[in-house]
Amino acid sequence: MERFDRLEAVALPIAQVNCDTDQIIPARYLQKPRSDNFGNYLFADSRLGRDGTPSPELPFNQPAYALAKIVVAERNFGCGSSREHAVWALYDYGMRAVIAPSFGDIFASNSLKNGLLPIVLPEDVVTGLIAGLLAYPGASVTVDLPAQTVTLPDGTGHAFTVDPFAKHCLVNGIDELGYTLGLAGEIAAFERSYGS
Amino acid sequence: MDDAADHGPRTLLDKIWDRHRILAREDGQDLLFIDRHFIHDVTAPAFEILRARGLKPHAPARTFGTADHYVPTHSRDMSAVNHPERRTMIEALTRDAGEAGIEMFGLGDPRQGIVHVVGPEQGLSLPGMTIVCADSHTSTHGAFGALAFGIGATEVGHVLATQSLWQRKPQWMRVLIEGRLPEGVTAKDVVLALIANIGVAGAAGHAIEYAGSTIAALSMEGRLTICNMTIEAGGRAGVIAPDETTFAYLQGRPHAPQGADWKRAVAQWRGLHSDPGAVFSREVVLDASAIAPMVTWGTTPEDASPIDGRVPDPAAAATAERREAMGRALAYMGLSPGTALEEVAIDRVFIGSCTNGRIEDLRAAAAVVQGRKVAEGVEAWVVPGSGLVRAQAEAEGLDKVFVRAGFEWRFAGCSMCLSTNGDTVAPGERCASTSNRNFVGRQGPGARTHLMSPAMAAAAAVTGRLSDVRRLMAKG
Ligand code: SF4
């Protein structure tokens, strides 16, 4: 896993509540192998208008957001299906953090395991941030994971919480499986006492 | 978990959790032992993770596989999988399961079907278990009094390699449903009414325990439907304490304990309930007698109304944000505010999925369809949740009822619930569906989904419109 330290990048707003993983990546792309660039399928249906051409009003299709690495979304982002492909699509597209007032539970845990940092900020802060990003496309946000702070384009700083172990894994670029494999003895002991 | 709960009254969640905790990490996460792991034909990336690290599944005997998402439903032949990537997914499951010695219900096996139908049917999902699967509707299996939840591909890799998972204990919410269900109202209507009430994030961060006289009176199938849709309220797990209904359903199932083991197991399962005085972080109470048959009009499951209602007006929404979301949903759905829901004409009907693809669901639909015809211009499908459900329905003659009425009688699979096998609803078409998600594009790009119960979907099929099944029942 890539290390996550400090990130200053363009933030892309998604002004929609309950944005589900079916929208983030439509189910017909789940059959693609992981070696594919899932970024190509990110919001595949909404990035294109009804006639199949890119709809220019969408932030994803605007040059100002081309270098975005941070998504700012409304409440309950990533709800619905457990597909990890939603995280891969965001990650492969170049995103490294998502800021929202709340997340779908499975999406949030999938994100942490793939180097995409989900950050919960208060709803009024996020609403203001989205309005600001829409008014000034291309503005940057800074995420400092070791310090657990986000600095917005208006200079205000906001602390966020993150699971300490997930933080440790992200900052050091290591994954949980390696850690658990080191506990094989404990697991085997449990299995012996547990029975079948 | 805090020590106090070890001494005081414990919830059902506490009991299952404590029994499976291998160890606790300083940050508050526990390593839980996983009893049952279901895999299906979307699990290939997890096996890639394993292979990349030179690992093998740790406990193949606790793991079971079935092909559901990519299987064709018009044929049982691999050659009917007309897309190379889909075929690769099914073949990958067959190969991965075969290499690891994982029992698998593949295409052509009579037991094949949707993972959340097959697990219960085979007696693989038992009270007190921890159950995971790379699918958010794993919450279904909680109907047996198990802690069952969906996980991502990386977590599947972790479970395969270690038979364990790091979890932070969710908060525990109780949903009490009391009273008798009115005629024509089913478990699906109850859970849609609940989600309309608490919202699609209403149970976020929580596991739900469903309790109350309505739940106690529900069949196992109905309970599975309710737990299935817990994730649509944002809750990762939904649990119902096991009782006589549970035991009666499980007894004699192929993988359920037998003989003396069965007696021992039942004695132990009887202790699986929340103790009196156990503390819940939230409680929601629902009056079942006030619930009407429900139908969704929007693009999230919370956009649900009683069938005798009208398409709501975004202008009347409480917040600007809700107004905007409703406006967007109605535009996608092609509906105007104020339209009577019963006036909305439909093009397709899909009866099936892990929510409503069980035998009781097909019986309820057939009872409405009996002696009637699918309306002109409507294409209606029944896709049984498993091969065994299909066989049972055929033994009862339900297939004939459907076929005579003009339904297509298909083979088991996820099918049009999310259309990954190519069974899609065309852009702009409107589908009365017994599945669980009416998300934008869920049944195909531009497809418009209305969620409802099997009886309501059957009513829509024969009238060609969203229809109040209670009126058809009165006539029939
Ligand atoms: S039937 Fe639908 S919701 Fe259920 S497992 Fe299949 S695709 Fe998922």
CB A171 within 8 A of CB A146: yes
Express each pLDDT in A105-151 by its tens digit.
999 999 999 999 999 999 999 999 999 999 999 999 999 999 999 99
Q: What whole-number distance in Å separates Cα of residue B252 and Cα of residue B256?
A: 7
Q: What is the mean pLDDT of chain A?
A: 93
Token digits for B352?
């099936």
Express each pLDDT in B85-132 by its tens digit.
999 999 999 999 999 999 999 998 999 999 999 999 999 999 999 999
Residue B328: Cβ-neighbour burial (10 angstroms; 0-12, 13-18, 19+): middle
| Same fold for the pair B8-168 and B296-475 | yes
Query: Is A40 among the domain residues?
Result: yes
Q: What pLDDT, on a 0 to 100 scale, did the predictor assign at position A196? A: 63
- The CA-atom distances, in angstroms, between B42 and each of A116, B82, B156, B335 are 22, 17, 11, 34
Answer yes or no: is the C-beta of B67 below 6 A from any ligand 1 atom.
no
Express each pLDDT in B310-335 by its tens digit.
999 999 999 988 999 999 999 999 99
Phi and psi based region of residue B23 (left: phi greater than 0; alpha: psi -120 to 50; beta: remaining): beta
Token digits for A11?
């933030």
Residue A95: pLDDT over 70: yes
Q: What pLDDT, on a 0 to 100 scale, did the predictor assign at position B1? A: 42
DSSP B374: P
Query: Is A1 among the domain residues?
Result: no
Answer yes or no: is the C-beta of B137 below 6 A from any ligand 1 atom.
yes
Q: What pLDDT, on a 0 to 100 scale, did the predictor assign at position A56? A: 76
Q: What ipTM describes this predicted complex?
A: 0.90
Q: What pLDDT, on a 0 to 100 scale, did the predictor assign at position B191? A: 98
Query: Is A130 among the domain residues?
Result: yes
First to last CA, chain A: 35
Q: What whole-number distance in Å separates Cα of residue B4 and Cα of residue A84?
A: 36
Pairs of CB atoms within 8 A across A/B: 153
Q: What pLDDT, on a 0 to 100 scale, did the predictor assign at position B180? A: 97
Q: What pLDDT, on a 0 to 100 scale, did the predictor assign at position B7? A: 65
Nearest CA in chain B to A163: B27
A12: Cβ contacts below 8 Å, ≥ 6 apart: A59, A60, A65, A68, A70, A71, A72, A95, A133
Helix (H, G, I), strand (E, B) or coil at B258: coil
Do A181 and B70 lie within an 8 Å CB cutoff? no
CB A23 within 8 A of CB A44: no
Instruction: Tell me the pLDDT band of A8, cut-offs 50, 70 and 90.
Output: very high
pTM of the model: 0.95
Answer yes or no: is the C-beta of B59 below 6 A from any ligand 1 atom.
no
Which of B345, B320, B336, B292 has the alpha carbon at shortest distance from B455? B292
> Is residue B150 within 8 angstroms of chain A, CB to CB?
yes
Q: Which range of residues forms the domain containing residue A75? A: 6-195
Q: What pLDDT, on a 0 to 100 scale, did the predictor assign at position A39? A: 95
State the residue for tokens 């494999």. Answer: A181
Percent of chain A clearing pLDDT 90 (strictly above)? 84
Question: Given the DSSP bridges, would you call strands B36-40 and B63-66 parallel, antiparallel or unpaired?
Answer: parallel
- The CA-atom distances, in angstroms, between A33 and each of A53, B46, B218 are 26, 11, 42
Q: Considering only residues 40 to 99 of chain A, which have any Cβ-Cβ distance to chain B shorter than 8 Å?
A: 45-46, 50, 74-76, 79-84, 87
Express each pLDDT in B69-80 by its tens digit.
999 999 998 888
Residue B23: beta bridge partners?
B31
Q: Considering only residues 161 to 200 of chain B, which have any Cβ-Cβ distance to chain A shorter than 8 Å?
A: 161-164, 166, 168, 170, 200
Question: What's the average model confidence in pLDDT over B145-157?
Answer: 96
Sorted by where each begins, the domain ranges of chain B are 8-168, 296-475
Instruction: Say if domain B296-475 classifies as CATH 3.40.1190.20.
Output: no
Instruction: Say if domain B8-168 classifies as CATH 3.40.50.720.
Output: no
Express each pLDDT in B245-280 by its tens digit.
999 999 999 999 999 999 999 999 999 999 999 999
Residue B4: pLDDT over 70: no
Q: In B270-338, which ranges are continuous DSSP H helix? A: 320-333
Q: Considering only residues 100 to 119 of chain A, which have any Cβ-Cβ distance to chain B shorter than 8 Å?
A: 102, 104-106, 109-110, 113-114
Helix (H, G, I), strand (E, B) or coil at B8: coil
Express each pLDDT in B371-414 by its tens digit.
999 999 999 999 999 999 999 999 999 999 999 999 999 999 99
Express each pLDDT in B170-225 by its tens digit.
999 999 999 999 999 999 999 999 999 999 999 999 999 999 999 999 999 999 99
CB B45 within 8 A of CB B274: no
Question: What's the average model confidence in pLDDT over A29-50?
Answer: 87
CB B434 within 8 A of CB B293: no
CB B164 within 8 A of CB B34: yes
Of A16, A84, A194, the CB nearest to B33: A194
Domain count, chain A: 1
- The CA-atom distances, in angstroms, between A87 and each of A6, A12, A41, A92, A112 are 20, 16, 11, 8, 9
Q: What whole-number distance in Å separates Cα of residue B338 and Cα of residue B13?
A: 44
Q: What pLDDT, on a 0 to 100 scale, did the predictor assign at position B310? A: 98
Q: Considering only residues 247 to 306 of chain B, which have any Cβ-Cβ distance to chain A shorter than 8 Å?
A: 300
Do B31 and A180 lie within an 8 Å CB cutoff? yes
Answer yes or no: is the C-beta of B232 below 6 A from any ligand 1 atom.
no
CB A34 within 8 A of CB A25: no
Q: What whole-number distance in Å separates Cα of residue B297 and Cα of residue B307?
A: 10
Q: What pLDDT, on a 0 to 100 scale, did the predictor assign at position A46? A: 83
Do B164 and A187 lie within an 8 Å CB cutoff? yes
Gap from A66 CA to chain B (nearest CA, Å): 25
Q: What pLDDT, on a 0 to 100 scale, did the predictor assign at position A84? A: 95
Q: What whole-number distance in Å separates Cα of residue B111 and Cα of residue B115?
A: 10
Helix (H, G, I), strand (E, B) or coil at B343: helix
Of A79, A105, A177, the CB nearest to B205: A105
Q: What pLDDT, on a 0 to 100 scale, did the predictor assign at position B3? A: 44
Query: Is A23 among the domain residues?
Result: yes
Q: What pLDDT, on a 0 to 100 scale, did the predictor assign at position B392? A: 98
Neighbours of B115 (CB within 10 A): 31
| Centre of ligand 1 from the C-alpha of residue B353, in Å | 6
Residue A48: pLDDT over 80: no
Query: Is A34 among the domain residues?
Result: yes
What's the CATH number where A108 sits?
Answer: 3.20.19.10
CB B194 within 8 A of CB B214: no
Q: Which residues of B touch A1 (CB under 8 A)?
A: none
A105: Cβ contacts below 8 Å, ≥ 6 apart: B170, B204, B205, B234, B236
Percent of chain B clearing pLDDT 70 (strictly above)? 98
Q: What pLDDT, on a 0 to 100 scale, did the predictor assign at position B27? A: 85
Instruction: Tell me the pLDDT band of A192, cut-offs 50, 70 and 90.
Output: very high
Residue B211: beta bridge partners?
B176
Q: What whole-number distance in Å separates Cα of residue B119 and Cα of residue B139?
A: 12
State the residue for tokens 């699609």. Answer: B200
Let me know the angle formed at the C-alpha of A71 by A68 and A72, rounded to the nearest 5 degrees.
130
> In a mutagenesis test of the A interface, which of B321, B323, B326, B448 is the best target, namely the one with the most A β-carbons within 10 Å?
B321
